[in-house]
């Protein structure tokens, strides 16, 4: 028996645990659209279209600037969208908006790149473990997931740094979180309002302005 969402033409098979979900998520039967996460034994499906100017262009700015810094420091890999991370201790399988995995995390075994079955060397389809940095951008349909359930799960997975951004309202929300003993806490802020990223060894500020055509434009500043 399976659960069928007829209006979206998406079929979710009966899943018993994280292992079964991961096998399905990496199979040809997995839907090619929408975002489907497994959080604490619960499958969460979000088929809402991505808002162009409070999510899409913002994700592009974050991912490009973060990847530029990762490449500049030569510390690892940056990934954006549809990059699946899974953690057995956290009972989690999700696709964050932005992910950073350092070479140190891979070399130490804290993170494992899962190879694609029956493919040549160097082909990978999943990140297992706790990435160094994960970023989520809040949308109308993901408020509870992005602000409550995923942060707890990412912490349990061993994620070092969690960035949360919400551009839907009149005020732009941007917060870098670092690990403390039992949960994520706000990162250090300097006198100019820049927030510290230990993973990227820099201070960051996210700015937003209105284009002459009326849409939002973003700039992730670092120093």
Tell me the pLDDT tens digit for each residue of 116-160: 886 678 899 999 999 999 999 999 999 999 999 999 999 999 999
pLDDT tens digits along 56-84: 999 999 999 999 999 999 999 999 988 99
pLDDT tens digits along 155-196: 999 999 999 999 999 999 999 999 999 999 999 999 999 999
Helix and strand numbers, DSSP H then E, in the chain? 5, 17
The answer to whether residues 207 and 221 touch, using CB atoms and an 8 Å cutoff, is yes
d(CA 14, CA 32): 18
d(CA 44, CA 136): 15
Residues contacting 109, CB < 8 A, separation 6+? none
CATH 3.60.9.10 fits 50-222, yes or no: no
* Cα–Cα nearest to 179, from 130, 125, 144, 109: 130
Strands 195-197 and 202-210: antiparallel
pTM: 0.93
Q: Which SS3 state, helix, strand or coil, does residue 6 take?
A: helix
At residue 119, the pLDDT reads 64
Nearest 5°: the CA angle 137, 142, 148 is 90
Instruction: Say how many CA atoms lie within 13 Å of 57 toward its Cβ.
Output: 15
Sign of the C-alpha dihedral computed for residues 35, 104, 122 and 57 taken in this order? positive
Strands 85-87 and 124-129: parallel
The gap between the terminal CA atoms of the chain, to the nearest Å, is 54
The answer to whether residues 192 and 184 touch, using CB atoms and an 8 Å cutoff, is no
d(CA 152, CA 84): 17
Percent of residues, the chain, with pLDDT higher than 90 = 88
Instruction: Say how many CA atoms lie within 13 Å of 118 toward its Cβ.
Output: 1
Neighbours of 115 (CB within 10 A): 14
């Amino acid at each position: 028996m399976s659960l069928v969402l007829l209006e979206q033409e998406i079929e979710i098979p009966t899943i018993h645990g994280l292992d079964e979900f991961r096998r399905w998520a990496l199979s040809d039967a997995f839907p090619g659209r929408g975002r489907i996460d497994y959080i604490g034994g619960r499958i969460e499906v979000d088929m809402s279209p991505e808002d162009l100017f409070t999510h899409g262009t913002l994700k592009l700015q974050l991912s490009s600037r973060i990847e530029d810094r990762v490449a500049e420091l030569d510390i690892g890999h940056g990934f954006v969208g549809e990059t699946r991370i899974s953690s057995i201790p956290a009972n989690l399988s999700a696709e964050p908006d932005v992910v950073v995995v350092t070479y140190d995390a891979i070399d130490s075994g804290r993170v494992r790149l899962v190879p694609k079955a029956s493919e040549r060397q160097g082909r990978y389809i999943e990140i297992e473990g706790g990435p160094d940095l994960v970023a989520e951008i809040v949308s109308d349909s993901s408020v509870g997931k992005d602000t409550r359930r995923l942060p707890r799960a990412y912490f349990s997975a061993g994620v070092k740094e969690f960035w949360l951004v919400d551009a839907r309202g009149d005020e732009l929300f941007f917060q870098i979180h670092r690990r403390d003993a039992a949960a994520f806490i706000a990162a250090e802020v300097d006198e100019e309002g820049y927030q510290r990223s230990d993973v990227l060894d820099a201070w960051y500020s996210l700015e937003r302005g209105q284009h002459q055509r009326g849409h939002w434009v973003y700039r992730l500043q670092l120093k």
